[in-house]
Chains A and B, each alone.
Chain A
Amino acid sequence: MSPSLPLVPFALIAVAIIGGGLMMLLSRNVVHATLWMLETMLATAALYLLLNAEFLALVQIMVYAGAVSVLVLFVVMLTLRRRQDAVRSLDASPVAAALAVLFVAAVSLGITRFTPTLAPASAQSPTILAFGQLLFDPKGPIMVPFEIASLVLLVALVGAVWWAGGERR
């Protein structure tokens, strides 16, 4: 494992992510904002690839870029009365901006002081196959929680169906 990341790809991906986030916040049109979010998700997937997390990159695309963004679009569509309602004000808040900046500053301060012991150069992230084997290893610690997580999803979906469904309850 090389201890460093290649600069140019990283810089490009960083611009894509931050830019996407910014554009999402700065666009007046809700639909545009949703699409910018989608772009941010995709860029994040690219970052995962850079970080040797192939499985996670795929999952990111499938879940976030695929399901979540579509879901958000659907909801946007369902909650717009008229077409022109999609455009709305920017809702700029100095207080929020200040708080966010403060928070980022505090965290950055923490990051600068963060010096964990890095793994040796020879250590490598697992391939997808190895990842899967680790994931579903019966003697490992991850399988059971993983199954339970799927139950969590089930419960959440049932709840979502209930909340969202039906004119009359």
Chain B
Amino acid sequence: MTLGLHAPLALGAVLFGLGLYGAVSKRSAVMVLMSLELMANAVNINLVTLSRFVTPVKATGQFFAVFAMVVSAAEIGLGLALVLALYRSFRTIELSAMDRLKG
């Protein structure tokens, strides 16, 4: 059985969906950030798949994925630092407790 490009793409979609579910439903800030990582990974999977099947010579997708990883790493570092700062202020990392913006 040949698996073309659609298989990894579908895999990426499902992984993205899982990450999405976690980001939208988890109440712990750390869990949310981890879900975000899942989503970022799904995106990278998509990029690499497309690079391999559509532009393998120039490896465009791989380079794109490199940059995505850089940004993603910066983002997770910063996000976790923010979580620490939040913990210091609220003594908790429950997102439901962070309702200062409540109208």
Contacts and interface: CB of A to CB of B under 8 A. Distances in A.
Are A and B in contact, CB atoms below 8 Å, in the complex?
yes
Most B CB within 10 A of own CB, among A48, A68, A96:
A68
Interface of B is mostly: helix
Interface string A111-152: 110101111000111100001001100000010011001101
A4 interface: yes
B59 to A, nearest CB: 5
A149 B73 CA distance: 11
Given A75-B83, A99-B20, A103-B20, A149 B4 contact: no
A163 B56 contact: no
Contacts of B20: 96, 99-100, 103-104
A40 B2 contact: no
Contacts of A157: 74, 77
Interface in B35-64: 35, 37-38, 41, 44-45, 48-59, 62-63
Given A53-B62, A159-B81, 11 more contacts: A21-B19, A60-B44, A71-B77, A95-B24, A97-B25, A125-B56, A125-B57, A134-B58, A152-B74, A155-B74, A164-B84
Interface of B: 1-11, 13-22, 24-28, 30-31, 33-35, 37-38, 41, 44-45, 48-59, 62-63, 65-67, 69-71, 73-78, 80-85, 87-88, 91, 93
